[in-house]
Structure 1
Amino acid sequence: MQGFNMGRYVPPELEGTTSGNRLNKKRAPGTLRKDGTQTVRFEMPFAVWCHTCKPHAIIGQGVRFNAEKKKIGYYYSTPIWQFRIKHAACGGYLEIKTDPKETAYVVTDGGKARDYGEGKDRVREGEDGLPILTPEERERRREDAFAALERKVEDREAVKDNAKRIEELYRSRERDWEDPGAVNKKLRNTFRRERKLRKREDDATESLKERLGTNIDILPEAEQDAQRAKLVSFGSTNVNAPNGTGSSNFLRSPARQTVKTPSRSKSSSAVKHSESKKDALRRRLVGSTRAALNPFG
């Protein structure tokens, strides 16, 4: 465009005789100054927190600035450069320098690099890092890497199997609930049957408690008790047995039998006679039953 040179206005009568920067007494970007500084285009290598902003604001990675570049030292023969940039949002300055030793950038003033959780130092092989590995150690680590890769392959196969099983379960569920009305009807019928069964069991338990005249909770019938009861069979009824030794006598309800408790004034012979009667009753009961386990043992 006529009248412009390097972005600065140059009158037509002076065009070709001078530059826009010289005419406006400005230094071109990138020109080295007498103090050793120069203006360059600098791009943020990572996100940085600006401490001048209140509250602290973050400058995203890749944001570009006109930075003042300056050489501040050497790492062996490699120059260390410092970049001073101005944050337009708050007017504060940040200083970032190169770190040839770690091949990284370091924020030295005005802010702080964002912590990505990767740790401050990166482990490298060589100086100030891991020792230099021998060929044998490298081969061993390579084999370990292959072993880890094989484990990853096995894990992927397990994930595929699990996914297949989950898919089968989903299909089974969809098949079972294809007709929700029929399934609900089946569930209701099952619930009604179980409810009636529980009602009969509760009524039988209450009736037994009324006959026994007790309020003690009666446990439900156990399978083990039913099996033991099947192993017991009583002898035949003998009404003509002397002294009432028939099974019809000792299997009577305890309510019809009256047991007299001996008084303290009775003699020891009466106590012995009562004990002998108990032993005789126990012997008759054992002799009249046939069981796999002695209930009095």
Structure 2
Amino acid sequence: MAERKATNKYYPPEWNPKDGSINKFVGQHPLRDRARKLDQGILIVRFEMPYNVYCDTCKNHIAKGRRYNAEKKSIGKYFTTTIWSFSMKCHHCSARIEVQTDPQNRDYALSKGIHRVLAEETKNDTVTSTYSMTGDEKQDEMRNDPFKRLEHLQEDKEFADEEKVHLIDLLEFRDRLASADYQNNSALRKSFRVILGLLLQNFCKD
């Protein structure tokens, strides 16, 4: 990116800044060829395949992370969240494949031309984190039951109190190190000198 920013752009003598940008002057969109179908509501984007899949046409494997130039367009709404469609061609056989966002399930839907490698893989094909997300059923239960919601808030408070103790210990440990940074540095350098002396002795013996 640095070399692109350092490259000077050509501004013809006929162009006047008062008339707008240079793109407007030459009659092209700032996104260039990516915006060639913008009048149809389609933007060309770089899309990365979210799963290991098979092409339904040529039966070849498409690896997770494979990138395509995809046609991105809006196809609907889930409440206020836009549902996006990404249409592209299989790099093996050029058959049209399509992936859609699925905000309801926080997932992707393979809507055309491809299917998942393993049927048992579900929407839970995500990296397990320290804190698991609350399921939709539990969210609905808390939304409709004030007592459940209060119980959940109490559990969160107890968890926060437990973590607060560990956080205070870490802060105190950091403060102890910071207050004796000179002594710690001197001790570390002294240990390095001892190790270096031993290495030199062994080298001289050899």
- Whose Rg is larger? 1
TM-score scaled to structure 1, two decimals?
0.35
TM-score scaled to structure 2, two decimals?
0.48
